[in-house]
Structures are given as C-alpha cells and as structure tokens.
Structure 1
Amino acid sequence: MGKFFAKVYDPVMKPLEKRYINRWRERLLSNAKGKVLEIGAGTGINFPLYNKCEEVTAIEPNPHMVEKAKIRQAQAKVPVEIVQSHAEQLPFPENHFDSVVVTLVLCSVEDPVQVLQEIKRVLKPTGTLLVLEHIKMEQPVYAGLQDMLTPVWKHLADGCHLNRKTDILLKENGFEILSRKEYMSGFVVSVMAKNPVS
C-alpha cells in the first residue's frame, strides 16, 4: 500500500493543490522561522514554499515517499534534510526546533496524542506549531457522514481518518492557539499555535 500510495498521491491531489491547498500551505508556511521540523513530509510538496527559515529537517516514514521527496529537496530555497522516521518517536533532543510544521498528517498517524507530545518535547518553549488539517465538521449531517466513511477511507487513503478533531486535540495537549482559519465550511483548518513555557 505504501508504494502505491506514494505513486498516486501527487496526481490525485494535484487538482486540489492547484485550486486550494497550495495557497493555504504557502500562507501557513510563511510563519515558519529558524530551525524547522516538518512532520510527515510525504512527497516534499512543502519544500519549495519555505523561504523565511534557516533550515528544515523533514521526517517521513514511507521510503517510497522519501524517494519522491528527494526530487523536491533540490527545489528548496533553504537547506532541507530528509530523515526516515515515525512521528510517534522523534529522533531529536528536547527544545531543539523553533517551528514545527504538520500539513495533512495528523489525520493519518497511528497515535495523534503521542505525536503531539513528541512535538511539544522537541519544540522550544514558546516555539510555533503550524498545522493544516481536515477535521470533523460541526454540522451533524456532515459529521455523521465523516464517521460513516472513515472505516473505508482509512484503507483507501493510507490510514487517513476523516473524523479526527485535531484542533481540539491541540488544545487538550497544551498548545496555545494563536490563530485559526477555516476553509471549505470548516472541513479544513489552518492553525498557528504556541508551545507554552513548561
């Protein structure tokens, strides 16, 4: 599944990226500063969008995605290092990064709470977390549809959950929300959050 997903991800997402998502990514990533950690880099679609930071360390567990990401690594305006690793156990010391970027990833990780705790650990106190994610919608009809589709969708889309309340998870795990933008009637959110001083 990992090889097939890596092969089809960019072609399937291209229309959405061109019309909507790339613009949202660019707006969010303009806030990435200093030493940046990107969680779940996928095919490296964010790499050309970094321009205000010093360097980017990008982790990705899927080796087939890593191969795709290496192509975009050469297009980056800042130095990018790609590390094959899982987000639930980040191979970095505490208080190491100024910014952490997570775009369309927390829907797919096995344990989002563990991932957020790991992000808190490696993010400097008062460091910035930048998240772009689809979430469970507030409207009962849409939310019910998301619940109904998720079991099948997970198998088709490499573990993606349509119904995770990621924005709520951020607050529950101690992040201070600095800004929140909604897109597509609240199906997608762009969140900038701060890692509070422990």
Structure 2
Amino acid sequence: MTETTTSDRADAGFRLHGGRGRFNAAFFRAMGPYLEASLRPYKQRVFAGLPGSVVEIGPGVGANVPFLPPGGTLVAIEPNRYMHDRLAAAASRRGVRLDLRERMAEQTGLADHSADTVISSLVLCSVGDPEAVLAEIRRILRPGGTFRFVEHVVAREGTATRASQRVLRRPWAWTFEGCSCERDLEGAVRSAGFASVEVVRYRLHTPFLPFNTQIAGVARA
C-alpha cells in the first residue's frame, strides 16, 4: 500500500506562484509522455537497478516513479504543492511508498549520510543555487552512494541552440519557474567534490530548442 506523508512546509526561499505552479503541473502531465519517449534511453541507463529507497530532488508529477522498484520508498523533495496529487497517484500506481517533503532542494532536512541514492531529472536547471543543492546531495549520501541525473545544459558557443538559449532566457525562466537554459551543470557536478563522475552528453530533437542539449550521468560520493 502507498503511504503518503507531507512534512516540512516549503522553505521561505521558494515563492509558489499560483498560476505558474498550476501551469507547470499541467504542462508536465500533458507533455510527460512526449518528453519521456525522448529521455527514456538515457534514464534507463542511469536509473537502472535503483535500490528500494531513493531520494528524488524535484520529482514533479512522478515521471521517474516507473524506474523505482514496486514496494520501494521514494523520499520526494518537492516544494510545488500543485504537483503533489499527481505524484501521489503515480506512486500509488507503482506500489511505491511516498514520503513527501515540501521543501527546497538546498535544505532537504535529511540526516547526514542517510541516503544510498539520490536522483534528479530536469531539476538542477531551476533550483536557486545548484552548487548548494549538489553540496546538500553530497551531505546526505552515504560514502559510495550515487547521485544519478538527467539534465538539460548550456549549448556550445556559436551554435543556433546557444543563440536561442540566450534570446529566450528570460521568458523561459519566467514560464518554467526559474529554469535556466544557460547553466554548465556538467561543470558544476564535476566541481562538487564527488569521488567520481561519469557523464554522457547528447542532443534531443524537439521543438523546444533551448532544452535540447542534455547530459546524463552518475556521480559517486
């Protein structure tokens, strides 16, 4: 049976916007199947063999729940409460116990060295301080634990994708609650102090041009 617990209201640093919060919940529900079809091969690679208990930073409406083992536990750090009902429904369908925490990724409230695995997808682009989030992930991971990620990143200079990221920077960030098209997240992960980092770079072919340069990888504490 799926058990849902909600604890620790969103930190003061997160300002939930009623309109954009609802829009993003609806957008990712509607576009989820399309995005997942593009991302699935990379998620299957980095999310393979997830353990029974996983911490996810920004699980949204539950796109990654199908990669969790039935009967497992998802500790979900998700400050957008408009995502919560759909996330709970996704966990219930999978038979996953949901420990839902309405908190910021910079301050999960979890104990030091308490997690074997932390995952994220399309999240580090929108957090307020990615370096602080990565430091928090390292803090909660046990030695030898893994951070597994699928993220969209800044494109190479001189490309059409990079030009579109620059032009659309502000409307993109406003629409998607602070999401940046221009972050060097590979560099941030490599500089975060993990014992090892493996990254695959790839490109999607979607109408969302600023979103199409991506990385997938595993960092070990």
TM-score of the superposed pair, with normalisation by structure 2:
0.80
Alpha-carbon distance between aligned partners in 2 of 1:52 and 1:97, rounded to the nearest angstrom: 18
User: Where does 1:48-197 land on structure 2 (aligned, <5 Å)?
Assistant: 48-51=66-69, 54-141=72-159, 142-184=161-203, 187-195=213-221
**Aligned equivalents of 1:75 and 1:59: distance in 2?**
19
| Residues 47, 75 of structure 1: 8 Å contact kept | no
Write the distance in 1 (CA, Å) between the matches of 2:61 and 2:136.
22
Native 8 Å contact 1:136 1:143 kept in 2:
yes
**Offset of residue 16 of structure 1:** 2.5
SS in 2 for 1:159: coil
Distance 1:152 1:176, change over 3 A: farther
Secondary structure of the 1:22 match is helix
Equivalent pair of 1:30/1:51 in contact (CA under 8 Å): no
Q: CA deviation at 1:52?
A: 8.6
Q: Deviations over 1:27-63 (max 9, x none)?
A: 3211433531100010011112212995321111000
Paired amino acid for 1:187: T
Q: Which runs of 5+ in 2 are unaligned?
A: 1-19, 205-211
Of stretches 29-38 and 47-56 in structure 1, the one that deviates more from structure 2 is 47-56
Give the conservation status (yes or no) of the 8 Å contact 2:70–2:94.
no
Corresponding residue pairs, total: 194
- For the 8 Å contact 2:110–2:140, the answer to whether it is kept is yes
Aligned-residue RMSD, C-alpha: 2.0
